Structure formats: C-alpha cells, structure tokens
Chain A
Amino acid sequence: MSNWPAETKYIGHSTARIDAPAKLTGKARYASDIQAEGWLYGMILRSKWPAAKILSVNLDKARQIPGVKAAVVARDGSFTIRFYGEEIAAVAGTSKQVCLDALRAIEVQAEVRHEFVVNENEARKENAAQVWAGSPNVPATPHVRENGSVDTAFPECAAVIKGFYTTAVQIHHPMETHGNTVSWTDDGVTAWASTQGVSSVRDGLAGALQLDHSQVRVITEYMGGGFGSKLGAGVEGALAAKLSKAAKAPVRLMLTRFDQSLAVGNRPSSFQKIKMGATADGMLHAFEMENYGTAGIGAGGDSGGGSGSADIPAPYIYKVPNTRVKQSAVAVNAGASRAFRAPGNPPASFGMESAMDDLAVKLGMDPLELRLKNDPSPIRQREYKLGAEKFGWKEKYQKPGSSSGVVKTGIGCAGAAWPAGGASRNTQGEAQINPDGSIEFRLGVQDIGTGTKTVIAVVAAEMLGLKPEQITVRVGDTRFPPGPGSGGSTTCGSVSATVFDVCTNALQQLQTQSGLADARGENWFAACKKLGVNPLVVHGKWQPGLTADHACGVQFAEVEVDTETGLVTVKKILGVHDCGLIVNQVTLESQINGGIIMGMGYALYEERVMDDLSGVVLNPNFETYKLPGIADVPDIEIVLINMPERGVIGIGEPATVPTAGAIANAVANAIGVRVCSLPITPAKILAALGKVPPATA
C-alpha cells in the first residue's frame, strides 16, 4: 500500500497545465528567448567530410569580419573527424549573417579521407573502412546471453518461424532545437539551457570549462522537448561558453534543424534475425536472435561517448525457457546515438511483436490469444482483456489478408514494458511559506514539457488543502535543491514523493509554530499569519512508499492499406496504460498521445537517410525527414488503469513503446504479408505485395 491519501480532490483528476497561459501568450521564456544584455549569436562550423584529419584551423579571416566578436576551435591541435557534421570551430557575432559569413571565412586545412562507411551492412564487411582506426567496426565477440538450450528446444517445437526485422535510425528532433545562451563573467558562468538536466549540465559545463560547480549556474525555465538527447551540455554548450568568455558577452547558440540532424543523437538502428518456436498449444519454447545495429561513431572501437551500444532487450516482454541472443553494435561514420525515449524498447517491441504475429499465423492462432498465453505480466493480461473489449477485437479480427477490396483493413496489438519509471531517491525540494499564506515550491528539476510544474502544484494543493493555482512553482535552476535529470520517466515519481514530504514537513512545522491542530485548507491562512514576519522555509526529499516502477501498457491499432498505392492510413489507436497512481490525468493523457504519435512516426515515416558515396545525411530537414503531421494522426483512445496502491510511476517512455509493433502487425494483418522493415513506406508495401518490377539500370 502506498501512503497517498485515499480520498482526493486533485490527485487523479485533471488540472490544466499551470503554465499554459504563459506558453500560449509567449510569456514563457525558452533558452532561445533569453536576451541577456549585449548578447551575440553563436554558430558552429561543421565538417563537410565524413572522415578527415584536421591539420589546422585558421580563424584570422573570420575574426576580421565586422561584427564578429569571437571565434574558437572545437578542439586544439590536429584532430580526427569521424562523421559528416562533426564540430570544427565556432563563432560569435552580432547577427546571424555575420556568423554565417564568418563560418565561410574559416580556413580549414585537412587531409580528407576517402575511406569511410555510413551503412551498417557495408561496415560489417571484412574489408570495410574502419571508423576507429585499428579496431574493427564490429567487435570480435558479440554480447551473448543463453538460457536453457535452444538447440534441443527447436526440434521440440510444433511451429517455428524465422524473420529478419529491421528498424531505421531515428533522429532526435525535439521541436526546440538544442542550444544555450551562456554568459561568462568574472562571477562565473550562467547558462540558460534547453536541457533535461540542469544539474548534469552544470556539472558537465564545469568539467569542460574547468570551473568549480559552484561557479556555474544553469537555468531552464521552459524547454521544448528532449526525449533523452538533452541530458548533457553538449559540444554546443561548451562552445557557447568558450565564445562567451572570448567575446566577453553572452552568447546564444541554438542549433539549426540541419545541425540537429547530424550531431545531437539518435536511436540506433536494429537488424534482428529472429527464430522462434512454440509447442502445439502455443507456449513459446525457443527463441534465438542475432541483432546488430549502429550507434554511429558511438559504437565499436574506443567509443567514448554516446550510448556505445545498439543492444535491445530480447525476447522482450516474454519469458521463453530456451533462448540464445547475440548482439553487437556496428560503428559507422555518422553521429553518435543517445538515449531516445525508452532506449532499446521500441525496436525490441517491433521485432518481437512482429515475430509473435508471424508465429500466430503459423500456429493458426489469434495473435491476441497467443499473447494472453505467453505474457507473464498480470497487469498486461488485464490490459489486453480490457482493451480487446473496448476495441472490439473479436468482432474486427479477420485472418491476415482476408479483408476484401483494394483498400484492406487490418488490426494488430503489442505490449510494452518499462523497467524504470520510478524515482530518483536523491530528489530534494523546498517550500517557502509566507505569512500572507502564499507558498512557493522550489525544486532543481526541469519541466521538459511533460507537465512537471503542474504535477508539483497538484500534489501540493492536495496535501495542503489548497487550490493548484494558489501554489507558485519554480523549477529549472541549479540554485534550488537538486532534482534528477528528466530521464527514464522518473521525474513525476521523484517530484511527487518529494513534494509529499515537503508538505508533510511544512504542515508539521506550521502546526507547531501556529498552535493550530490542522493547518490545512480553511485554516491555512490563519496558520500562516501566526508565522509573524519571517517566512517558513521547509525542506523535503523523496521518501519510500510513494513511488514504484515497471509500468506496462498495451496498444491496439487499426489500419487501412491501399494495396495499389501502398499508402497506409492509421484509423485508430487504443492505448491501455498503467502508471500506478494517476497524479494528473490530462497531462498523463498528453504524454500518451505524444508517445503514440511518435511511435507512428517510427512505424511509418522516420528514417535517417545517408548517402554511401558522400557520407552526408540526405534528409537534414522536415521536408525529407518525415514526421507525422496532424493529418496523419488517427483517432486515439486512451484507457487508464489507476493503481494508487502502487504509488507514482512515470509514463513518458512506455507510451511510445508498442505503437510501431501494433501498427506493423495491423498492416501485416491487412495485406497478408509482412513488411519487415521500418519505416513502412508505400514503396515497401508495394514490394511486399510483389508488385514492384526489377530495376533495369
């Protein structure tokens, strides 16, 4: 049992974002809105070669351009470039055009290397160009995990399927690009950062600039999305600081969409060769997978940064008695991967859930039934049953490819798991209660668009018997008590439990000081008044018994596929999700909507396209890097399972996990053949249907 109150007025209900008016009126200030006195634009010169040795960088001509106030190199001396877009130098100037001109005036002497490789399958070949000199692109020994004995188990299976399921590299494209406004003065460095972690950015900047932590302050009042890619200061953060120091002025360095496509991280690709078997009654019995994928230069060799791995959990949410899983990351000359909303999970879900449906076909079973037989989670079992009812699974389900006509309909489902989602136990916070009854919460977390501030207000209002609008919330400042980076879907749990504790302490002290037995609700103002002239400042931190982890979730998809044009239309997605105690329903639903739309992009549209010959990213903009638009978004229905007894669990990540698998299965159900590769484009649908003629050239 959790310690949360049983009867609630705000928790579990819906409070609109407390900062919605500020966002809608433009009052909200993002990193790029900061107009520090005398600020300059900053810009980065990036490599136009995918592989080169930089011999020297001459900034003199750039510095001579009127309006240019500083120019710095990204690295001293001679250095190696390993991907198109890697940082070489940066400039600060009084206008964008001045900076652009300056970038073109920088003289770079380089030994351009024509040996490079941007394609995973090419990079795996024996004589492929080495991304990291002296070490193979694929490590000699893959990561291997074995359970039971697949070799004896496969012959015991009644049905065995084999599939090769692949997913593309997905680029990090939060609506707000990466960047900072940095001011370096004698008093230290202040960075207005677009970040998911004010503390980690402070520590990172201090390290990069060789300053004490106490000399760096990071502020993030508002930010426009990060999805895992904005936990550190980034090269762009350190460069902005160096420019500010050199120019003696604040520098705003926001990346462009083009920059964004190259160097701020991505979700690794996956190439999953799966063999899976079940006994005649549909129990999974043997699973074998060989998977590789690329994390760009963050894989293979001496991969310092990046996630360094393209491994995915397998056999994902299922328990199979006999498994053998071999995985390896392939280095290519491309920007490194970074944590990306539920790292590893969407590709794992897509591969495994595709294999499940393929196996169901082989067994002649309803794929939902196969899941109910094999899914070890009682929560997902409940969700599947509830969802099937709502979705009308039984009525809608037809054998694959049996829908009539040119435009065929199909349905599919898939499940999610998210092992994290709990809380950071070091989260702290404070509240200042003023004699006039006003109260301000200060937490060194950041609201990355998920509604963290609103969660704080909701929990505080509930605990203190006030209204959410009576609570002032301040976050996103390293001068506040430290909070966690917003990663792993832990923020909601962390702040909810912390605010709970702050409120408990506040009431205790207020009651002692005021002599009132209960300072909540209608007694609040009277109690505060008794404080006299000094406000009361109380601290609190995460406490056990209020948070949990391991959210589940299942999604159902219904699609239409035009078998002559290959166009897929998603008609409906039903998401059934749990995240323990629901704190605020509207912002929770908003997370799930966003997760589903992002999952749709992964399923149908998104893909980093690189050119083998030149090594460039060919789609560095929203014209050709295709994201779902509102016209693509289907009817989304969300069913929530409230489990107050578990405590608070985050939802951001599990919400996006099963969408691609569910859509892929619905497409396969519609057309009767599987498109094994994401994104599922019209071209791939037509190819799967056997309609595409061979190339003539």
Chain B
Amino acid sequence: MNAFTYATAHSPASARQLVADKGAYLAGGNDLLGLLKEYLVSADILVNIKSLPGLDKIERGEKFWTIGSLVTVAQIEDHAEIKETFPGLHEAASEVASQQIRNVATVGGNLAQHSRCWYFRHRDTQCLKKDGDLCYALNGENRYHSLFTGNTCISPVVSSLATIFASLDATAIVLRDGQETRQNMAELYQRAWENPLAHNSLKNGDLILRVEIPTTRSRSAYLQVSDRHAFDWALVSCAAAADVVDGKLKSPRVALGSISPVPHQVETANRFLDGKVLDNATATQAADMILKDAKPLEHNAYKVPLAHALIRRTLLKLKGDA
C-alpha cells in the first residue's frame, strides 16, 4: 500500500477536519485495508473513527430505534431485543460474512463498503469503476452482477444491512459539510445507480453517524442464497418488512440486494401489497412486479428465478405464525 499518516478522531467535527479531502475514515478496516493493500484506494491519512463517543450504541425508542455507525454487525446479531423487534435485521446481520468479520465490521463501514465486482477488485483490470473505458463484466464473467442498472456499470450493492434497512425504511444520518443530513437507503445509493465511479452517494468527508429505524413495521424477514453454506456473499438477498393488521399487510416494503447498484425496490409492488392478505398468489404477483424490468445478461439470468423465489419466501415469512 502507499504510505499514509494515521490519526484518531475524538469528535465528528475533528474527524471531518482530519480526513480533509484525501483521507479515509477507518472503522473496522475489513474493507478499507484490503482496498489499500491492493492499491485500489489510496489515502494520505487514515482517520480512526472508532473512538468517536456514543456511536457504538443501540438505543430503543418509541417511534424509532437508533443504531450508531460504530455498532458492530455482531452486536446487532447478538442483541436479543433486535431479534424480537426487527427479526429481519437479526437475520441479515447473522448472514454477514464470518463471525470474525462480524466482530469488527461496523454498520457505517458496512453501508459504505465498496463494490465486490471481481473486475473492480482485480489489481490488473482497469474497469469503468476505476475510471477505465469499459465494463469488462458486461460481456464477460457477469454471474454475480446486476439485473438492473442506471448506468454502464453492472456492479451490484452487496451490503446485507442496506437491504434490510431499505425494507424497514431506515434513514442514515450523515454529517455533511457540518450539517446532519438524512438519507434513506434509496438516497444513500442513488449515485451508484447513476455514476459508474460511485459505490454510494457519500461524498468525500461525509460521515455516517447513525441509522434510525422506524418501529412502524412489526414484522420483518431476510433471506439470502449463496453458492455454498459456508459464509459467502449472497447471489441474491431479499428483505421484507410490514405491519400486519387483521391479517392484512400495512406499509409493506420489499428490497433486494446483489441485483442492482442500489437496494432494489419497486414502489408499485409495495403499493400493490399494501392492505393485501398474504398468500402464495399475492406474493407471486408482487415478485413478478419487482422483477418485471430485469435485464438478465449471459451468466446472471439465474438470478431472476432465484430472486423470484426469495421474494415469495421472504414475504410469506412475514406471515409468521399469526
């Protein structure tokens, strides 16, 4: 890796100041250190944000829960009341990587992680995402790539937390230019939809402080399928959340990961599901709507039936025993 200096920040403001315009925030380091070692990212300073006060807490609230950006994925997984209140979040957290990674991976780092596209991650391919001229995956090895995109890069978002947060309509509170700004998951990734160089909508120096999850959806579920049972990235992941009143869905949201540069959400499908009693036929119709505009490529078309199955199963999971 290239040489850098290192500093520990003790307040968000000083973190911002230290990182200046060529630095990077260092949280758990799972992603950042790999990127630095492969010369995929270079930073003149690493600003350790792990000592920022108060950001490592999970706080319950009446209307919403707050999860600090330094909370680890393992903390979420192990939190008994999260399992109770947001079962989908517990399930998503427990599917992230391995126990060792979950122990250090933070919520902020998970949301801000870079593309896992194997062309982007390869030290010797100069792809679009690295400001090269072409997307190698488009006509190449695209088995892990997107069914949807708004630009010419087909690398998908892979954060499992982003998928479940989207279905729970969670909001990231981001410190930007000295102001706290609010971005839902669609907004947090919108720039990756538009711009091949982007992994998310964060601008240099933006600091995720926390995530707020509204308590309006009492049911949530998350499912993913990988190539194997041992820890592995999702081929497709799916999250769904809703309240259920008199057996009918209220404010349902479905989101999918690993098939688009953003958590894939289709509002017409969410509206269609609103007020419906869940059964196989309804779930199937919703799945059809969600995948209607998919543009499968040579090697990733299997994601269409896979996503379809996961949408149906995740939705039916919402029914629970009630």
Contacts and interface: CB of A to CB of B under 8 A. Distances in A.
The answer to whether A and B belong to the same complex is yes
Interface of A: 48, 84, 97, 100, 564-567, 569, 604-605, 609, 611-614, 616, 618-620, 623-624, 626, 628-632, 681-683, 686-687, 691-697
A48 B228 contact: no
Contact of B118 (A48, A567, A618): A618
Interface stretch (B62-70, B136-144, B181-189, B245-253): B136-144
A696 B296 contact: yes
Contact of A697 (B118, B122, B138, B306): B138
Given A631-B229, A632-B229, A692-B301, A682 B235 contact: yes
A609 B141 contact: yes
A626 B143 CA distance: 14
A192 B313 CA distance: 55
B227 A694 contact: no
Interface string B283-322: 0000000000001111111101110011001000000000
Nearest to A689: B305
B225 interface: yes
The size bracket of the interface on B is: 35 or more
Contacts of B233: 623
| Interface residue SS majority, chain B | loop
Contacts of B81: none
A629 B302 contact: no
B301 A614 contact: no
A619 B117 CA distance: 11
B312 to A, nearest CB: 8
Contact of B296 (A569, A609, A611, A695): A695
B297 A695 contact: yes
8 interchain residue pairs of minimum CB distance: A629-B230, A564-B309, A683-B302, A691-B305, A631-B229, A631-B230, A48-B124, A686-B302
Contacts of A616: 122, 124-125
Given A565-B306, A631-B230, A697 B295 contact: yes
A614 B227 contact: no
B272 interface: no
A683 B143 contact: yes
Contact of B301 (A84, A619, A693): A693
A673 to B, nearest CB: 15
22 contacts: A48-B124, A565-B306, A565-B310, A567-B225, A613-B136, A613-B139, A614-B122, A614-B136, A616-B124, A619-B118, A623-B116, A629-B229, A629-B230, A631-B230, A632-B229, A683-B299, A692-B301, A692-B302, A692-B304, A693-B301, A695-B296, A696-B297
B229 A611 contact: no
Nearest to A100: B1
Contacts, number: 106
B232 interface: yes
Contacts of B310: 565
Contact of A613 (B140, B228, B302): B140
Given A565-B306, A609-B118, A697-B297, 15 more contacts: A48-B124, A84-B124, A564-B309, A604-B227, A605-B227, A613-B140, A629-B230, A631-B229, A631-B231, A682-B227, A686-B305, A692-B305, A695-B301, A696-B295, A697-B295
Interface of B: 1, 116, 118-119, 122-125, 136, 138-141, 143, 225, 227-233, 235, 295-302, 304-306, 309-310, 313
A238 to B, nearest CB: 25
A611 B309 contact: no
Contacts of B116: 623
B136 A564 contact: no
Contacts of B302: 566, 682-683, 686-687, 691-692
B124 A614 contact: yes
Contacts of A683: 143, 235, 299-300, 302
B141 A618 contact: yes
Contacts of B1: 97, 100
A695 B225 contact: no
Given A48-B124, A565-B310, A693 B304 contact: yes
B266 to A, nearest CB: 18
B228 A604 contact: yes
Q: Which of B123, B229, B304 has the most CB of A within 10 A?
A: B229
Contacts of B309: 564-565
Contacts of A697: 138, 295-298
B227 A611 contact: no
A565 B225 contact: yes
Contacts of A696: 295-297
B125 A611 contact: yes
B259 to A, nearest CB: 14
B28 to A, nearest CB: 16
Contact of A614 (B125, B296, B297, B313): B125
B306 A682 contact: yes
A611 B306 contact: no
